[in-house]
Amino acid sequence: MTESKFQFNYEVYSDISELSEQDAWLLTEARTVTEQAYAPYSNFHVGAVAMLENGEVVAGTNQENASYPVGICAERVLLGTVATIHPNVPVKSIAISYSSDDVKSDHPISPCGMCRQALLEYETRTAKPIRLILSGQEGKVFIIETASFLLPFAFTKSELG
């Protein structure tokens, strides 16, 4: 038997004031767009804002539904919009934030498993890493250089032949 380890480095900032001007702007946009989320069931509003390689900015929010499986996360709304409006344009960075009526939004959250798979697929599709900026409405900020770090042992198109 052999043993292996998977680990990655990421940046931790105490708050938005430590970020570059562009990253701070993108995170501010993500924090603001959470207001557009449709989350009447969970009261958990998520906003995702992408800076594309061509300089365009696209936003997405979570959209819930009374039939729970029909809802969709902000990250996948965002990626679908990017792929439709700007086909095959790589995403440089995505800032993701949340607000809630029930819990304090003072720490970063990470994309769910389905969103991690969708982010990885978009990275593979464009052959470019997607840099993630994760934070709540206040507090610490995490920056992860590539979404693929969040999904080790990923299922990709290479498994399909």
**What is the set of active-site residues?**
75
Burial environment of residue 124 by CB neighbours within 10 A (0 to 12, 13 to 18, 19 or more)? middle
Cα dihedral 50, 83, 44, 103, rounded to 10, equals -30
* Cα 51 from Cα 89, distance rounded (Å): 10
Residue 131 near residue 94, CB atoms below 8 Å = yes
Residue 48 near residue 78, CB atoms below 8 Å = yes
Helix (H) or strand (E) holding 76: helix 74-85
Quote the crossing angle between the two packed helices 113-126 and 74-85, to the nearest 10°.
Answer: 20
